[in-house]
Structure 1
Amino acid sequence: MIDIAIVDYGMGNLRSVHKALEHVAPSLSIAVTGDPDIVRKAKRVVVPGQGSMRNCIHELEDRGIREAVIEAASHKPYLGICLGLQMLFEESEEGNVKSLNILPGKVVHFPATAMTTPNGQKLKVPHMGWNQVYQTIKHPLWEGIAEDARFYFVHSYYVETPAGASIAAQSHYPFPFTCAIAQDNIFAVQFHPEKSQSAGLTLLSNFTKWTPNF
């Protein structure tokens, strides 16, 4: 049995995620796979990805892996990265597409206005580079990570979550936005832990040992 399945639906640099997980958990069997049966049988599932949400949903459906991802998110440790976070929600402005509808909320574009710092500096979209992540809850995946640690981001869209949603962290660009969520067996982040040096590796290591209670 595979310990960790990294879901391959043709989008994103999966090699860096694979290498980072192998680095923090060399004794585990880790597979990059687009086979829904392997995803279903794996003990843990990681869903990374970069690019367009419309293409993401199309590829999940076209490759027959959509339902396997939904099943994984329902009952086993699930780590979503970038699109792996955004696909969990109801819909996305990116192509006006329906997503997996596992969590309440929608994915929206950074606004054309109000993208300036308090001193008037204009901010670029996409949001790209290092930014602080402010933890809003205690969670096993935050263990050993400073409450305002810096992680690496690359995205033009972010998640709008309703009041009371399972927000695990926020970042600021220039306003606060949700950059991590946690609900039962799901933990998902907008940033890229595999590109975030020691803090990111710590988060990935914590995931390989996490046993959700739900």
Structure 2
Amino acid sequence: MKDRQVEQTHAQQRIPLLSAILHCMSMTVLVFLRSSFGYAFLRPKSIFLAGSWAFILFSIYAWNEPAVWRTNKGLCLFGCTSATLYMFHLISVYVTEVRDTATHDNDSGTPHILRLLSWLKTETTSELRNLVVMVVEPALVLSAALILRLGGQAVNNLSSWLIYTAFAMFLKEGINYWLQIRQRKRYRDAMNDAEEGFGSGNTSQADLPAPIRKAKVKRQRVW
């Protein structure tokens, strides 16, 4: 196996297969809740091809089967709208990359809630962002899913999908937060080890050898 030339950061680290599934499910809802995504975060191979294309194919199949359409109409409309928004975000971030105005390639997007708080002159911290993406957004999706349960058979499958997505969002952000904690711990440990190594190498002035002075040699003048 080829060694990595560049060490991964916490934003790039992920659990094989599990992180991809959680990311794919979460993006179907995150395109509604956030904006200003990073180009690498959207990852067209795993999201557009695996998510958007599947929703479009299923919608075409359901449209031609009246019985399937009646029970999956809400899910199909949601999936097609999500695919459209995903393409809009992808084109938007591609334009920013071409114009060289993009801020961060791996940015997971700015929640609309934080934008609203910034408009209200409320200070947004990293702790507040973690709370919003890990608790508030999944809670909103879960609440919407429970409300849709009252809408009848046409949105039952959509409600089930949103319930699964809410838990996927929580797990995904939980994994990211855990990786951030590990990254900070490794950084602190490295700094502590460096300080300990520097402290153990200190010697007092008395322990240093006396400097060797060369005898002065008087040069003859050339007239």
Fold shared by both chains (TM-score > 0.5): no
Q: Which has the higher strand share?
A: 1
Q: Which has the higher helix share?
A: 2
TM-score w.r.t. the length of structure 1 is: 0.27
TM-score w.r.t. the length of structure 2 is: 0.27
